[in-house]
Structures are given as structure tokens and as C-alpha cells.
């Protein structure tokens, strides 16, 4: 395939779609994104315009939950049929990806809808010279998933960060994949460009529901309630912790004031208590200067102001809403940076600003996980 790969994502504003869209955007020299609007499915001309532009179409648009299983089935099959009709009208030979599920073989209409959709696209590919990758995906969790819809982890995280008490309906063993791991798999498969009508996406972890809930409850007790970074013993626990953090209401939590221990000698302040290591540093900033304007996709980071006046700003990648936090060294306080939020810090006072920084992994220039974007 010559030039940039033109990729369109149905459901680009959904849980997986948002992460895939944003991650593809990190490689502008490789990928050109073709924007999709859910209204296209009810407008043949608009859908054909979208399809005709794409070298790759990742079909993620689907319904996961509804009070009527029949409605789920009809919706999901209908979306695939609309896409196939457009592929035929435009004589497209795009490489189509469809997100299916390991529930395909279960006796429910959701699984049936996913299997029939994948098989219908396989038939199109064989008859019209297209290419299909049918993704059989385990349970996906990660930041910004919808509670009561995308996964039990999303539901538990929402409940624990909003004063509710989770309950386990069925303490089964669940195969799991973190949304960024799934996205990385999809991008690798796009680059490999192979026809694979039934591709099993490997789960990265298998956990009991109660085991996951126990970890999340520990995150609440240590991090949400006390500001302490918990021990994270594995990549799974790091991914789960970042997932948990994304459900917190940052605007009502930050800035958090430190506890000052003052005596005739002066004042002692504990900046961070943690069960993991990382890198600590500090900066001085002259009045009027702004630092930062970047975001991370996996790192945990804390900004603590101990002298001067600062404005810390956060903005989620796909949002125009800017969160403003005003910090003053006379009342030392901190703000933690969520993943996928671009952030900065500005000296808004008249004296030198001193800021302490902690991040959970030392800076690696070959893998910095630092992407510059204005707040």
C-alpha cells in the first residue's frame, strides 16, 4: 500500500474507538484518519463517501447491552449489513476489521449477532476481493469505559469513586485485555495487512471477579482516600490502577492540600507515600512561564507546589473542557495527572515557583511516553 494508510473507525467515539483513534494519531507519518459520524449509517450517500476514502475500516460500532436481546441482535446485524451494502456500492476493496467476541459460541443473541456479522463480512471479502480481519476479543477494560455497559471493571471503578458499594453477581474467572493492549494488536494487524477472518486476540490476564474487586478496593482505600500510590506488582495492576484513576472526579478532588508538620525549626511536608519507586525531581519557574503541555498514555505523575503561585491545567484528549487548579505554596498542595490528559503548569505569581515532581518510571528517551499538545 503506497503512501499513508487511510483508516476509518465506525464507533470512533466509543470506548475502544476513542483509544484506537487517539493512538493512530500518534503516527501521522503512517496513518491518515478518516472521520466517521454515527449518522452515516442512516445516510447512504454519507456512508459511501466515508467507505470510498478508506484503505482500512475498523468496524467497532455495535450495541453491547439493552433490555431487549432481540433489539441488540437486530441492531448489530443491521449495522454490518449497512456497511456491506456500502462496500458493494463503492466497489471497495478495503481491509475491513470487525470486533467480534469470545461470546460468539455462547447461547445468546449478542454472541449470535457478532458471529453472523463477521461471517457476512467474510462472504463479502471472498466474493468481492476485499480483506477481512475478524477479531475475537476477550473482555476489555481500561480508562473511560462506560459503567454498566462496557465491563464489570468499569462498573466497579465508577461505584468505588462515587460512594457506591459494588456487588459481585457471579465470581467467575474472566479473561481480560487492557484497551491499549487491544489497540496495539489492531495497529500491528493493520500494518501486517493479512486476510484473517477468524483471529483470536489473546487475553493478557485471567482473574477472578473478586480478585479484581479486591485490588480496586485497595486502590480506593490508599489512593482515593489517602493519596498514597499503592504497590503495583505487575503490568496488569498498573493498567488496572490507571483505569481506576480515570473514573475519579478530578475537578472535585484537586488540588489536595498537604499535611504540614510545623515546629520551631520550620515545617516538614510529606510529598508522596508510595509502594513503588519512580523518579522524583523539582523545578524552579520564573513568573509568567508555562511548563508542560504534554500528556502520557501510561505514566502516573504528581505535581506538588511548595513555593509560589501556580495554575495547573488539564484537558482530556478528545474534550474542549479545561480544568483549572490554583495552587499556593503558602498552603502546599498537589495535583495528579490522569493518563490521556494533556497538562501544564504556569507561574502566575510574582516570585519564583518551586514545584516537586514525582513520576512512576524514570525518563527513557527511547520510550518517553510524552506527547506534546497544547492544553
Give residue limits of the domains in the chain: 5-141+176-204, 253-372
CATH 3.40.50.300 fits 5-141+176-204, yes or no: no
Contacts of 361 (CB under 8 A, 6+ apart): 278, 279, 299
Residue 2 has pLDDT above 70, yes or no: no
Report the CATH superfamily, name and number, of domain 253-372: Jelly Rolls (2.60.120.10)
Nearest Cα residue to 314 out of 240, 254, 256? 254
pTM confidence score: 0.90
Q: What is the mean pLDDT of the chain?
A: 94
Cα–Cα dist 317/340, whole Å: 6
Is the model more confident about 290 or about 262?
290
Q: Quick one: angle between helices 69-89 and 109-128, nearest 10?
A: 10
Residue 130 has pLDDT above 60, yes or no: yes
- β-pair type (309-316, 341-347): antiparallel
pLDDT tens string 157-172: 999 999 999 999 999 9
Nearest Cα residue to 337 out of 306, 373, 304, 368? 304
- Residue 97 has a pLDDT of 98
Is the model more confident about 277 or about 82?
82
Residue 264 has pLDDT above 90, yes or no: no
Residue 289 has pLDDT above 80, yes or no: yes
Contacts of 220 (CB under 8 A, 6+ apart): 160, 161, 244
Q: How many CB atoms lie within 10 A of CB 146?
A: 14
Residue 1 has pLDDT above 60, yes or no: no
Q: Across the beta sheet with 301-307, what order do the strands follow?
A: 256-257, 333-337, 301-307, 353-359, 279-285
Average pLDDT over residues 199-211: 97
- Joined together, the cell numbers standing for residue 302 give 504528581
Amino acid at each position: 500500500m503506497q503512501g499513508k494508510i487511510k483508516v476509518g473507525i465506525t464507533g470512533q467515539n466509543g470506548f475502544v474507538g476513542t483509544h484506537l483513534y487517539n493512538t493512530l494519531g500518534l503516527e501521522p507519518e503512517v496513518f491518515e484518519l478518516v472521520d466517521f459520524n454515527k449518522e452515516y449509517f442512516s445516510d447512504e450517500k454519507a456512508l459511501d463517501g466515508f467507505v470510498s476514502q478508506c484503505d482500512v475500516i475498523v468496524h467497532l460500532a455495535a450495541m453491547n447491552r439493552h433490555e431487549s436481546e432481540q433489539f441488540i441482535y437486530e441492531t448489530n446485524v443491521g449495522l454490518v449489513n449497512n456497511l456491506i451494502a456500502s462496500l458493494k456500492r463503492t466497489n471497495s476493496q478495503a481491509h475491513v476489521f470487525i470486533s467480534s467476541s469470545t461470546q460468539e459460541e455462547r447461547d445468546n443473541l449478542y454472541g449470535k449477532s457478532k458471529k453472523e456479522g463477521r461471517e457476512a463480512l467474510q462472504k463479502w471479502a471472498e466474493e468481492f476481493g476485499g480483506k477481512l480481519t475478524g477479531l475475537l476479543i476477550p473482555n476489555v477494560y481500561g480508562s473511560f469505559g462506560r459503567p454498566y455497559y462496557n465491563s464489570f471493571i468499569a462498573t466497579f471503578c465508577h461505584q468505588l469513586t462515587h460512594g457506591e458499594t459494588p456487588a459481585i453477581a457471579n465470581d467467575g474467572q474472566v479473561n481480560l485485555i487492557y484497551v491499549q493492549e487491544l489497540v496495539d494488536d489492531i495497529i500491528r494487524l493493520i500494518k501486517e495487512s493479512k486476510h484473517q477472518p477468524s483471529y483470536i486476540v489473546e487475553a493478557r490476564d485471567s482473574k477472578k471477579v473478586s480478585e479484581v474487586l479486591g485490588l480496586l478496593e485497595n486502590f480506593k482505600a490508599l489512593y482515593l482516600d489517602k493519596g498514597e500510590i499503592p504497590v503495583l506488582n505487575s503490568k496488569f495492576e498498573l493498567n488496572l490502577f490507571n483505569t481506576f484513576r480515570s473514573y475519579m472526579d478530578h475537578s472535585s478532588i484537586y488540588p489536595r492540600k498537604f499535611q504540614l508538620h510545623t515546629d520551631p525549626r520550620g515545617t516538614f511536608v510529606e510529598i508522596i507515600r508510595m509502594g513503588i519507586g519512580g523518579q522524583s525531581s523539582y523545578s524552579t519557574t520564573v513568573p509568567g512561564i508555562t511548563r508542560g503541555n504534554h500528556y502520557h498514555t501510561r505514566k502516573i505523575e504528581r505535581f506538588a507546589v511548595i513555593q509560589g503561585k501556580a495554575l495547573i491545567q488539564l484537558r482530556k484528549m478528545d474534550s474542549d473542557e479545561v480544568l483549572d487548579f490554583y495552587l499556593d505554596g503558602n498552603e502546599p498542595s498537589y495535583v495528579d495527572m490522569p493518563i490521556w490528559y494533556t497538562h501544564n503548569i504556569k507561574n502566575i505569581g510574582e516570585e519564583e515557583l518551586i514545584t516537586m515532581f514525582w513520576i512512576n518510571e524514570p525518563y527513557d528517551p527511547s520510550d518517553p511516553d510524552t506527547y506534546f499538545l497544547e492544553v
